[in-house]
Chains A and B, each alone.
Chain A
Amino acid sequence: SQTIHQWPATLVQPVGSPLSLECTVEGTSNPNLYWYRQAAGRGLQLLFYSVGIGQISSEVPQNLSASRPQDRQFILSSKKLLLSDSGFYLCAWSRVETSGRNTDTQYFGPGTRLTVL
């Protein structure tokens, strides 16, 4: 079975500090990977998605970046955090068939709650 891990679970960081959130998936290969942010009491906003190693697409311009150094590892980073970066960050994966067709159902990790002070 497949599992998805995120760490850390919670993080409190000062404004201007760097950020690194990590997401790993087990039990599948060549998944599509996604980073979302959820502001308090709001829906999910897609930040980045990746269809393969080194392939990153950004949905929202901001001071965040993403990288996929390995097939099942997805990292969200920032060089200098802003107050507006506070929120709940969720990583998700979806299965891609050998034909290249994405199966669309996304499975989410437990999330990281980030507070920027």
Chain B
Amino acid sequence: AQKITQTQPGMFVQEKEAVTLDCTYDTSDQSYGLFWYKQPSSGEMIFLIYQGSYDEQNATEGRYSLNFQKARKSANLVISASQLGDSAMYFCAMSENYGGSQGNLIFGKGTKLSVKP
């Protein structure tokens, strides 16, 4: 069964507007971490933001915020004031056994975001 689901293969957003990228996850662990990465056309995976399962506040990093709804098992990424440079693939990922020795990440299939001028 898929553990990370990103239902939007592609999204368009107008420059300067906000956009939400969806991510749902499946785990039976109580302790886990949720991550978002950006992959521009160059290929490098850039870490954006993370949320721990015990964190009560939604994580924020600049224009990025993570809308964490634990009961719904969702961890949506919100990008405010979109810029042309935000056009990229975005991957949601989860780490089970959070804080354990291994920290393996499970990735979703990604959402391609295109920002229109």
Contacts and interface: CB of A to CB of B under 8 A. Distances in A.
A48 B116 CA distance: 38
Give the secondary structure class of B's interface: loop
B109 to A, nearest CB: 5
Interface in A73-88: 88
Interface stretch (A13-21, A64-72, A107-115): A107-115
Contacts, number: 71
B105 A106 contact: yes
> Which size class do B's interface residues fall under?
20 to 34
B43 A103 contact: no
B85 interface: no
The residue in A44, A57, A108 that gathers the most chain B C-beta atoms within 10 A of its C-beta is A44
Interface of A: 32, 34, 42-44, 46, 49, 51, 57, 59, 88, 90, 92, 94, 96, 100-111, 113
- 8 A-B pairs with least C-beta separation: A108-B45, A102-B103, A104-B103, A43-B107, A44-B107, A104-B95, A111-B43, A43-B109
Interface of B: 33, 35, 37, 42-47, 50, 91, 95, 98-105, 107-110
